[in-house]
């Protein structure tokens, strides 16, 4: 969730690279036509039953659609998606993420006995985060298999969130979803999840950002990826994925936030793609940031830029960060636009000191504090808890400052945006990319 203002599967991204920029990448492919360029329009009518003709005549896509239907009805027969991860790891020691040695003046940390002792003291906390990360890997692996054009965004988030609840053994604020699943499309870069009644249907020419959060005992794992079905967007996706990896390489104890942003910007702006005969440089969305993460607080005190911005604040030992980058074919700048779905309680405001003029707001606040605390939530989650007729109370809580709202963030219409994100932990001895997987 963005701040606005992988053993053999692990790629070798932790090595220091030289200063040479990668060659410009072009999206033009031989024989590629102009099918589907421009604003991808979404059906606003209720999606009917899917058939092979709805998605494709291809048998594999039909099979995938049937698998999706099985998930939505609870009939899937895939053990990795049915069994809680605690049962897959009986000793409750969860996989360690990608470990990267620190560089230069911090290389000594790798072999420091004192720093190793500090890590042993934090093992329970680390293990909670690793459990959440393992859930994230398994949920997204399945989601990537079943998400297809023709599904509604509501179906997509249900697949992801039902799987998350099952695998993490959701239990109130002890463990569960870390924040509403983002399924932002095309020029919308972040903070879109469907509200009740939203009939948006995923199209073949859409660029879909999937942002998933999982938490265990307040340790929030935040990681995102981009899905496309038309290969003409491949250079955009590659640019953002590699820019995120560059930010991860640069991040570390005592590293200045500006330096992370500069590394991201250098890689991302070296890519181009061609759409309908026009060449676009991939631009970082300069007013979107990664962020530090504290227990139960998704956006903690530090913002990680994705362009050089002069911020001399340093990363510190023990901090968790979401390193996330966004690339765009538009202006590289987003504005809030559209119906809001994301909310979170403002941890800096004491609700007891705020008079509420709408009686419904008081009972709604009680529900929010009991079920979410300071974790982000969305309207669908309130619906799921049986809340109704709450919009006026919700608005009162926002206007009073008790809740923050996070509306969709959009670049200019007609452009396309992509996102990749990992959660990292700056351990005393090394940097751990907690969400690294064999997919990204």
Catalytic site residues? 211, 222, 291, 299, 324, 421
Q: Do the annotations mark residue 37 as ligand-binding?
A: no
Q: Do the annotations mark residue 114 as ligand-binding?
A: no
Q: Do the annotations mark residue 294 as ligand-binding?
A: no
Decide: 192 and 341 in contact? Cβ < 8 Å: yes
To which H or E segment does residue 72 belong?
Answer: helix 59-72
Tell which residue, 184, 206, 212, 209, has the closest CA to residue 341: 184
Six-digit token string for 177? 């979803």
Q: What is the DSSP letter of 297?
A: B
Give the three-state DSSP class for 114.
helix
Distance CA 152, CA 84 (A): 26
Give the three-state DSSP class for 266.
helix
Give the three-state DSSP class for 348.
coil
| Cα dist from 310 to 21, 32, 259, whole Å | 21, 41, 8
Tell which residue, 248, 402, 226, 374, has the closest CA to residue 299: 374
* Paired sense of beta strands 417-426 and 175-185, if any: unpaired
Residues in a beta bridge with 210: 183, 225
Question: How far, rounded to the nearest angstrom, does the alpha carbon of residue 188 sit from its chain's CA centroid?
Answer: 14
Cα torsion angle, 311, 4, 253, 269, sign = negative
Q: Do the annotations mark residue 311 as ligand-binding?
A: no
Q: Do the annotations mark residue 299 as ligand-binding?
A: yes
Distance CA 389, CA 415 (A): 36
| Vertex 264 angle, CA 39 and 311, to 5° | 115
Residue for token digits 């099979």?
63
Q: Do the annotations mark residue 211 as ligand-binding?
A: yes
* Paired sense of beta strands 409-410 and 188-190, if any: antiparallel
Distance CA 169, CA 84 (A): 6
Q: Do the annotations mark residue 101 as ligand-binding?
A: no
Six-digit token string for 263? 């590394």
Sequence ranges of the binding site for substrate? 191, 299
Per the annotation, binding residues are 191, 211, 222, 291, 299, 324, 421
Binding-site residues for a divalent metal cation sit at: 211, 222, 291, 324, 421
């Amino acid at each position: 969730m963005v701040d606005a203002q992988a053993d053999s599967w692990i790629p070798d991204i932790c090595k220091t690279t030289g200063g040479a920029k990668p060659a410009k990448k072009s999206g033009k492919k031989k024989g590629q036509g102009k099918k589907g360029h421009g604003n991808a329009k979404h059906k606003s009518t209720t999606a009917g039953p899917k058939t092979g003709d709805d998605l494709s005549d291809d048998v594999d896509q039909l099979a995938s659609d049937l698998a999706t239907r099985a998930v939505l009805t609870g009939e899937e027969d895939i053990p990795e998606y049915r069994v809680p991860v605690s049962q897959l790891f009986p000793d409750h020691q969860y996989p360690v993420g990608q470990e990267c040695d620190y560089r230069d003046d911090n290389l000594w940390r790798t072999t420091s006995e004192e720093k190793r002792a500090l890590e042993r003291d934090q093992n329970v906390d680390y293990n909670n985060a690793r459990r959440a990360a393992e859930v994230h890997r398994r949920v997204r692996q399945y989601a990537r298999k079943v998400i297809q054009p023709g599904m509604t965004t509501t179906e997509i988030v249900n697949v992801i969130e039902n799987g998350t609840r099952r695998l993490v053994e959701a239990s109130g604020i002890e463990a569960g979803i870390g924040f509403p699943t983002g399924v932002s499309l095309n020029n919308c870069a972040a903070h879109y999840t469907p509200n009740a009644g939203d009939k948006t249907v995923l199209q073949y020419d859409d660029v879909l950002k999937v942002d998933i959060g999982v938490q265990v005992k307040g340790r929030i794992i935040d990681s995102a990826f981009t899905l496309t079905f038309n290969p003409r967007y491949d250079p955009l996706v590659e640019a953002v994925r590699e820019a995120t990896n560059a930010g991860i390489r640069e991040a570390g104890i005592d590293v200045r936030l500006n330096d992370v942003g500069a590394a991201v910007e250098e890689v991302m702006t070296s890519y181009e793609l061609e759409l309908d005969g026009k060449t676009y440089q991939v631009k970082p969305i300069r007013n979107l940031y990664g962020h530090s993460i504290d227990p139960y607080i998704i956006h903690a005190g530090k913002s990680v830029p994705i362009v050089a911005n002069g911020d001399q604040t340093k990363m510190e030992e023990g901090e968790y960060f979401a390193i996330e980058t966004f690339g765009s074919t538009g202006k590289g700048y987003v504005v809030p636009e559209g119906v809001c779905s994301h909310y979170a309680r403002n941890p800096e405001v004491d609700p007891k000191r705020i008079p509420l003029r709408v009686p419904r707001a008081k009972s709604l606040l009680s529900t929010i504090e009991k079920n979410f605390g300071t974790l982000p939530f969305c309207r669908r989650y309130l619906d799921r808890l049986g809340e109704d007729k709450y919009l006026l109370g919700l608005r009162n809580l926002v206007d009073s400052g008790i809740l923050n709202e996070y509306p969709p963030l959009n670049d200019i219409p007609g452009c396309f945006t992509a996102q990749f994100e990992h959660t990292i932990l700056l351990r005393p001895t090394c940097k751990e990319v907690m969400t690294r997987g064999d997919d990204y």
